[in-house]
Structure 1
């Protein structure tokens, strides 16, 4: 090989190798600092696009989870109120049955009627106070709950409203029902018995709805975890591997500097030819 002071081929090769090493070192350092092997589109456009789409799906499932949790809370509040109403009806049945006894005197009947009316009015209070986030599932004219079931928003889980207001389809006890007479007591007893059966069925429906929401919420949580894990599989860096690689590259970088230094000393050796 001819010797030239204008063109140092060895130095050019050393610089090329050193630049390549430094580029690889920069990539490994970025992966270690971000924890990702695909942190931007320039790293791998196809993988980045797939990961972004899946991240969007995962974030959309947050809204689904919130909708399911909100609906579940509404149903649970309605169920708690319904159980209270069922207990009140059982107590009203006792009062109505006792008032149906023809041997009661006026004073005793009036006392029982006062208790009956108090229990009756507590049903209205329970219904009116069973709202969650402005949604009441058991008041008169209540509408069904429709919780989001998937990220598209097209699928929903419906829980039917169950009106437990006085004088409604389930609680047939009238808002002015009393047991002031034997006849009224018998009428009230029949209405209370029907109401107890209807409320039990309504509670069963609410309970089924709550279980459906809880089951789907559990599925959505698992689905979101699986999506997040899948994204991690394609974009996360193997830090143990990158750590070992960066050690090797740092050694290679030092050797590259030494090789460049040696190559740069080549032209100075030409001076010995002129001595």
Structure 2
């Protein structure tokens, strides 16, 4: 090969090799820094596109999980309220049975009536207070069902999937039917006309209900109320279990999708670490080779001495 100061073929070859090594080193360092084998569409368009689609699915799953968690909180709040109402009705049933004893004196029956009135007020307070984030599925509007609140939640990211719903349980109406209106009623024989207190006194006039009979009628109404509350508890319990099952499925699906994204784009850091060591050695050798090649034209000077 001719000696030339204009064209140093060895230096050009060494420079090309060093440039390639530096590019590989830059790529490896980027993978180690980001932890990604495919960080952009320039690395691998097909894998990057699929990964982006899956990342979008993860965002949707997060929204579904948030919706289900809210529905679970509302439903569990309603369950807590319904269970407490059920306990209070049991207490009222026991007192109503006690008051139905015909041999009980009126003063004792009046004292029981005061206890029943207090328990009634507590029932209505619990119904009104079973609210989570502005949603109460125990309380309803007896005059207009369109005002009744329900629970509706996303349950899947699949196109056209139906919403998960829990209907309003209508406890306000159930309470009014069994216990009388929370504020004012005179339609029930055990509720004082023009008030909301429970009245177990003997009615005036012939043929009027006795206090014992009022207590018996009241107990029957409580039995009906209790039965409907039990049905409601079954409905709410089933809904809560369904929500929990859907949350569990979404959690597992999220893990699977996350794992799938990792399989597509995550870097093998052990492999990249070993590659980094090799490239660093290659870089040092490339620099030395270029240095040697650059010294080649110096030998031409010896020909002119």
- For the aligned pair, the TM-score class normalised by the smaller chain equals over 0.9
| Local SS of the residue matching 1:4 | coil
- Which position in structure 1 is the counterpart of 2:155? 149
Q: State the shift of 1:273 in Å.
A: 2.5
- CA displacement 1:47-80 (0-9 Å, x = unmatched): 1111111111111211111111111011111101
- Which position in structure 2 is the counterpart of 1:65? 65
d(CA) in 2 for partners of 1:123, 1:238 = 62
- Taking a change above 3 Å as real, the CA distance of residues 88 and 126 of structure 1, as seen in their structure-2 partners, is same
2:290 to 244, 257, 260: 260
User: TM-score, normalization: structure 2?
Assistant: 0.86
Q: State the shift of 1:227 in Å.
A: 0.8
d(CA) in 2 for partners of 1:227, 1:69 = 20
2:167 to 133, 153, 160: 160
- Which position in structure 2 is the counterpart of 1:31? 31
Q: 1:85 aligned to 2:92?
A: no
Pairs aligned (count): 274
d(CA) in 2 for partners of 1:265, 1:196 = 101
1:172 to 173, 178, 184: 178
The answer on whether the counterparts of 2:124 and 2:175 sit within 8 Å (CA) in structure 1 is: no
d(CA) in 2 for partners of 1:88, 1:94 = 10
Structure 1, unmatched stretches of 5+, are none
d(CA) in 1 for partners of 2:140, 2:290 = 87
- Which position in structure 2 is the counterpart of 1:240? 270
Q: State the shift of 1:155 in Å.
A: 3.0
2:240 to 200, 207, 210: 210
The answer on whether the counterparts of 1:147 and 1:157 sit within 8 Å (CA) in structure 2 is: yes
Structure 2, unmatched stretches of 5+, are 142-147, 186-190, 192-197, 202-210
User: TM-score, normalization: structure 1?
Assistant: 0.95
